[in-house]
Amino acid sequence: MKKFDYLKPHTLEEALSLLSQYGDKARLIAGGTDAIVMNKQKKISPDVLISLQGIQGLDQIESNGTFKIGALVTHRTIEQSERIKKRFPLLAEASSVLGSVQIRNVATLGGNLCTASPSAETAPSLLVYEAEVLLVSRMEERRLSLPSFFLGPGETALDKKEILKEIILPSPPPNSLGAYLKLGRRKSVDLSVVNVAVLLTLDPKTGICERARIALGAVAPTPLRAKETEKILEGNLLDERLIIRAGDWAKQECSPITDIRGSAEYRREMVAVLVAKAIKQSVKLPRK
């Protein structure tokens, strides 16, 4: 592994100053579960690693009014947070199946997003919750939706002089139900072959789906919303036939690749299975 200098600023302003000073020679590090591995594999070769771990406030969850999760909040914290489990249970579930407990104790939500892996565990759940990211530089702040933040595998809209400060989550509509499902080659400590998040808002009197949000991971260059599939559900009663149709439609909206974890054809078929299963699980329909 290439030798590097390790800097640990104490404030966000200091970190932004160092980032501006070192430019392309610097790389930000949070929990380090991705950056250190990438450095060993020579996928990155920074002269300087700037740690965000000592910066106060980036590891906080704020739920007064707008719900905000600091970029340094760990997946273990998200998994165990009663506030998140109550308001954003799909995110808590996604964090709970990311790696091992040891990894979740240090890996951060911001790091998971900035790595921009197509199979990022938390991305589908954040997409259905319509989360935004707050990016800060020495000159300005800007908010982006997640679809605008993800540009491609390993690529985000984050400028070289910006830091992801926090993730902003609007409250889901009343009467919303959902499910998060992950398919991996093993039951734990494995990357997703496919992951799916579904969030449905149902009319409590009629059971008709008023609003649908469906997101897919590991089946396209970036995590994505299955917007055409959502339209199939909205305004309709979710019976067995419609749910199967939605699953079949979702597999047409993705563009998976073949790799060591699964073929493109297998992934596409599993999208249909998992989307249907997640919808049934959300509305408590029996599985056949």
Residue 25: the pLDDT is 87
- Counted residue by residue, the chain has a size of 288
Q: Which CATH architecture group holds 5-51?
A: 2-Layer Sandwich (3.30)
The Cβ of residue 37 has, within 10 Å, a number of other Cβ atoms equal to 12
196, pLDDT greater than 80: yes
CA pair distance 150, 96, nearest whole angstrom: 23
- Write the Ramachandran bin of 235: left for phi over 0, alpha for psi from -120 to 50, otherwise beta: left
pLDDT tens digit sequence for 215-235: 999 999 999 999 999 999 999
Residue 189: the pLDDT is 61
267, pLDDT greater than 70: yes
If one looks up domain 176-283 in CATH, what number appears?
A: 3.30.390.50
Per-residue 3-state assignment (H helix, E strand, C coil) for 149-173: HEEECCEECCCCCCEEEEEEECCCC
The Cβ of residue 170 has, within 10 Å, a number of other Cβ atoms equal to 11
Q: Report the range of poorest mean pLDDT among 9-13, 23-27, 256-260.
A: 23-27
Residue 179: the pLDDT is 97
Are residues 22 and 47 in contact, defined by beta-carbon separation less than 8 angstroms?
A: yes
Note the pTM of the prediction, 2 decimals: 0.92
Most confident of 8-12, 22-26, 281-285: 8-12
Task: Determine whether domain 61-169 maps to CATH 3.40.225.10.
Answer: no
Domain borders along the chain are 5-51, 61-169, 176-283
Residue 213: the pLDDT is 98
Residue 185: the pLDDT is 72
